[in-house]
Amino acid sequence: MLGRPVQLWLCTAPADMRKSYDGLAALVRRELGRDPLNGHGFIFINRRRTQLKCLYFESGGYCIWSKRLERGEFGIQHSRRAATVSLSRTEFEALLEGLDLEIKRRRKRWLRPTQADLAHGRIST
């Protein structure tokens, strides 16, 4: 991808890969309840898990990045527990490389405290 979406969201329901810009943007609005113009990337995978599309908006227009596998499938299981799952850049790259995207436990990492954390006394400086 040329641009860097702020956050990547994987849609857990299978999507119709015939959809293009407007169709995918409508899915983001109606099915996911999110704004497709917010700079986030929205990843859709077909039922057979052989095709992937990522829709995102960058200065002036929508972009679609897609990949179709000639053999094999993307390593995710479709689930109805949540409409979307947040993916890190590393998880997205692992998905593209053919690794199973099932994370049993996330290791703790340092995160920069937000102003809200500091204001509410959750983190001391």
pLDDT tens digit sequence for 44-67: 999 999 999 999 998 889 999 999
Stretch (H or E) spanning 63: strand 61-68
Q: Do 66 and 74 meet the contact criterion of CB atoms below 8 Å apart?
A: no
C-alpha separations of 70 from 49, 73, 93, 108 in Å: 11, 9, 18, 36
Q: Where are the domains of the chain?
A: 8-119
Q: Do 56 and 38 meet the contact criterion of CB atoms below 8 Å apart?
A: no
pLDDT tens digit sequence for 84-121: 888 888 888 888 888 776 655 556 767 777 776 667 66
DSSP, collapsed to helix, strand or coil, labels residue 86 as: strand
